[in-house]
Amino acid sequence: MIYLYLSALETEDDKIQFEDIYNRYKQQMYSIAYSILNNEADSEDAVHQAFLSLAYNFNKVKTIPCHKLRSYIVIVIRNTSINIYNHNKHSAEKSAELDDNISIDIDFFENIDLNELAEKISNLPPIYKDILYMHYYNGYTQKEISAMLDISYENVRKRMERAKKLLKTELEKED
């Protein structure tokens, strides 16, 4: 991973200095991020983002006196972690809001035979089948699906809603 950060630097001296900072502070940065985020993956993302920020702004970072560098790095990782925490919190609230607006009864699907459900999903039109597969099987968020398919977030949300309605209708036909 360090090679990614080093590629953002121009001179060999900068690369050596950055590598020293990376080796010295990466564990402390992870600890700080984890204390804020309480999640390994998010903490690793925070450290990664912080190091990218440090690498892209290394001309400024290398001018910081040695005794102030640790404080600066702590501030960067703390702010990065807080931003991720706030983003996750906002996304969770937004997701809960959207879930409240969707009138599909999730409990309905929990009582269905999985083989039957899989068969019905495979019979859906591809635009609905793909969205369900990406969200429930691969674990992508609606926002991630939106970016990967290059369609609007609202479009992804609507397709999910329509797919669930279609599934429910198909499953109710058999009852």
26 part of a folded domain: yes
Q: What is the pLDDT of residue 48?
A: 93
Same domain, 168 and 147: yes
Residue-by-residue pLDDT tens, the chain, 175 positions: 777 778 878 889 988 998 999 999 999 999 999 999 999 999 999 999 999 988 888 888 888 888 889 988 998 999 899 888 888 887 776 665 555 444 445 555 555 666 777 788 888 888 888 788 778 777 778 888 887 777 888 988 998 899 888 888 887 876 5
Distance CA 36, CA 147 (A): 27
Q: Are 22 and 5 in contact (CB under 8 A)?
A: yes
Q: What is the pLDDT of residue 94?
A: 65
Terminal CA-CA length for the chain: 54
Distance CA 42, CA 36 (A): 10
**Of 92, 111, 140, which residue sits at a domain end?**
92
Q: What is the pLDDT of residue 103?
A: 46
Number of domains in the chain: 2
Question: pTM for the full model?
Answer: 0.54
Same domain, 168 and 137: yes
Select from 126, 127, 107 the least CA-distant residue to 171.
Answer: 107
Distance CA 42, CA 103 (A): 31
Segments forming the whole domain that contains residue 152: 103-174
